[in-house]
A and B are shown apart, each in its own frame.
Chain A
Amino acid sequence: MVRPTKVTNAIRTLRFTHGEMTQADLAERVGVTRQTIIAIEQGRYSPSLEMAFQIARVFNVPLDAVFQYTEEEGDIP
């Protein structure tokens, strides 16, 4: 359940570079609660692919500019 995720994100940075958008603003535009945005930012929740695309669309950037998947030694390329 609480396994660490290898998915990292740049939502916090993107919010600040987009007019210091608040978590509440982003939550409203994506259609989720502010707690969910906080959980995603802190890496406590990995959103669905659809929600990830919705977040990327709000910032008008490609998906991999928002979410990154960090590779570790032994991972299948």
Chain B
Amino acid sequence: MSFGERNNWIYVAVCLISYGIYLAIILGSAQEVPLAEVPYVAPMLWTIGIAIAAMIALSILLSIAAGISAPKECGKQDQRDREIHRFGEYLGLWFVVFGGAAALGMSMAEMDHFWISNELYLAFVLSSVVGSAAKIVAYRRGFQSW
């Protein structure tokens, strides 16, 4: 498994786990109050912050492990890695675009901040997960630049 592919597995896992924790906190709190009144800001910021920190820490650990097992190829990226990265980012970007457009519509409809923030968070998570999953598929099943 290449360095780039391993990094993308980390991104997918961290994104899904952190979003899962956030949903569990929010839905757990919604037992006592209506969902839209659940205090969501702190759990959202904490899970995003912890996810970013976890990604950085795991990437560093992965680099160290890769440096020990295959020093010559450690962190090395070539044309294929860059093309796969670009392809995944392009796919993921669509979720940010649709999420932004949906947030604009929800804002114009004067919906509660809770729903707008959560819709945007979901868009970011989907963008990361779909983009990274597409890169993993491209690494494993093939990617044709021609």
**A contact residues vs B (CB 8 Å cutoff):** 1-3, 5, 7, 24, 28, 31-36, 39, 42-48, 51
* Closest chain A residue to B143, Cβ basis: A45
- B2–A44 touching, CB < 8 Å: no
* Across-interface contacts of A33 in B (CB, < 8 A): 2-3, 73, 76-78, 80-81
- B78–A46 touching, CB < 8 Å: no
Give the contact-size bracket for chain B: 20 to 34
- A28–B145 touching, CB < 8 Å: no
**B contact residues vs A (CB 8 Å cutoff):** 2-3, 72-73, 76-81, 87, 134, 137-139, 141-146
- B87–A1 touching, CB < 8 Å: yes
A55, chain B: closest CB distance, angstroms: 12
- A44–B146 touching, CB < 8 Å: no
- A32–B79 touching, CB < 8 Å: yes
B92, chain A: closest CB distance, angstroms: 14
B126, chain A: closest CB distance, angstroms: 18
Given contacts A1-B134, A35-B2, contact A44 B142 (CB under 8 A): yes
Could you tell me the dominant secondary structure of chain A's interface residues? Answer: loop
B94, chain A: closest CB distance, angstroms: 14
Given contacts A33-B73, A35-B2, A48-B145, contact A1 B138 (CB under 8 A): yes
* Bound-state Cα–Cα, A10 to B134, Å: 29
B10, chain A: closest CB distance, angstroms: 17
* Bound-state Cα–Cα, A32 to B79, Å: 8
- B78–A45 touching, CB < 8 Å: no
Complex A-B, nearest 8 residue pairs according to Cβ-Cβ distance, in ascending order: A44-B142, A32-B78, A35-B2, A46-B146, A36-B80, A46-B144, A2-B141, A5-B144
* Closest chain B residue to A44, Cβ basis: B142
* Across-interface contacts of A43 in B (CB, < 8 A): 142
* Across-interface contacts of A32 in B (CB, < 8 A): 78-80
18 contacts between A and B (CB under 8 A): A1-B138, A1-B144, A5-B142, A5-B144, A31-B78, A32-B80, A33-B73, A33-B78, A35-B2, A35-B80, A39-B80, A39-B142, A43-B142, A44-B142, A45-B80, A46-B146, A47-B80, A47-B145
